[in-house]
Amino acid sequence: MTTHFFGDTAVLTGRSLRHITRSLDTIITTAIMPIAFMLLFVFVFGGAIDTGSDTQYVDYLLPGILLITVASGVSYTAYRLFLDMQGGIFERFQSMPIARSSVLWAHVLTSLVANLVSLAIVVGVAFIMGFRTGADLLAWLAVAGIMVLFTLALTWLAVIPGLTAKSVDGASAFSYPLIFLPFISSAFVPTESMPGPVRVFAEYQPVTAIVDAIRALFTGQPVGSDIWIALAWLVGILVVAYGFAMLAYRRKIS
């Protein structure tokens, strides 16, 4: 049964990836908005923002830009899943001897691949803009691991509206709050500069811990407890999102 699941998931993932390669504008569009934010904040607002450190502003904000890249990219997962549901693809798959959950996993893995490509584009542009890092190979692997977990967690969240939305707009609109969340965190300015209630929210929401952990890894500084808080948030969100997504899927196909 396990072999059956992995084989079916591989075949369906290949199908989804072929769709992506035929519309590379999806990946490019996903990367354009974060790059635009990066250009705007570095070259327009960067000179007026005091981060309380000697690092370049592009170094400071890149972790937040990476999270925005994924948050904007996962909306396409909800969109593609919704179209498959409306197009009757799921009903056709149900008539075939394939593992049912492999259909969802194919969309999730496609999202992971597409978002990793978008992240690579954004990091490449950041280097062109002057981003520099003292991170060694182990630190880069840790950053990659965090981003993979973040992408999986948000993608499984995206699966839920993809299965339950009543319209295309409803399926993809869920990502807007996720894109906005890094702006109320330590991604662009230190939380100490925020007014009381906003500061409390910013310091205790998951994005701040994730951003601080990635920033410390990039700068070669001790990550402290941030990485464990970030991992706890990511694993928790992933488990809960996966559970609700599978519940919604079972109700949909029952």
pLDDT tens-digit series, residues 178-233: 888 999 999 999 998 899 899 999 999 999 999 999 999 999 888 888 999 999 99
- Alpha-carbon gap, residue 181 to 223, rounded angstroms: 22
The answer, yes or no, to whether residue 12 has pLDDT greater than 80, is: no
**How many C-beta atoms surround the C-beta of residue 250 within 10 A?**
11
- Interacting residues of 22 by C-beta distance below 8 A, sequence separation 6+: none
Task: Name the band, by pLDDT with cuts 50, 70 and 90, for residue 55.
Answer: confident
pLDDT tens-digit series, residues 100-154: 667 788 888 888 988 998 999 999 999 999 999 988 999 999 999 999 999 999 9
The CB-side HSE value for 237 (13 A sphere, CA atoms) comes to 21
Of 204, 200, 198, nearest to 233 (Cα)?
A: 204
123 class by beta-carbon count within 10 Å (0-12 exposed, 13-18 middle, 19+ buried): middle
Q: What local confidence, expressed as pLDDT, does residue 104 receive?
A: 82
Q: CA dist 131 to 42, 73, 134, 163, Å?
A: 11, 22, 10, 39
Structure-token pair, residue 122: 């954004």
Task: Name the band, by pLDDT with cuts 50, 70 and 90, for residue 77.
Answer: confident
- Alpha-carbon gap, residue 184 to 201, rounded angstroms: 8
222 class by beta-carbon count within 10 Å (0-12 exposed, 13-18 middle, 19+ buried): exposed
Helix (H, G, I), strand (E, B) or coil at 97: coil
Instruction: Compute CA 84 distance to the chain's CA centroid, rounded to the nearest angstrom.
Output: 21
Of 140, 59, 148, nearest to 109 (Cα)?
A: 148
- Max mean pLDDT range (7-21, 150-164, 173-187): 150-164
- Max mean pLDDT range (13-22, 54-63, 167-176, 205-214): 205-214
Q: In this predicted model, which residue has the larger pLDDT, 65 or 29?
A: 65
The answer, yes or no, to whether residue 97 has pLDDT greater than 60, is: no
Name the phi and psi angles at 5, rounded to 5.
-65, -50
Letter string b/e over residues 238-248, b meaning 16 or more CB atoms within 10 A of that residue's CB: beebbebbbeb
Q: What local confidence, expressed as pLDDT, does residue 196 receive?
A: 87
**How many C-beta atoms surround the C-beta of residue 11 within 10 A?**
12
pLDDT tens-digit series, residues 225-254: 899 999 999 999 999 999 999 998 888 766
- Alpha-carbon gap, residue 94 to 177, rounded angstroms: 33
Structure-token pair, residue 158: 């995206």
The answer, yes or no, to whether residue 1 has pLDDT greater than 50, is: no
Q: What local confidence, expressed as pLDDT, does residue 227 receive?
A: 92
Amino acid, res. 183: F
To 5 degrees, how large is the angle CA 116–CA 163–CA 23? Answer: 40
Q: What local confidence, expressed as pLDDT, does residue 224 receive?
A: 86
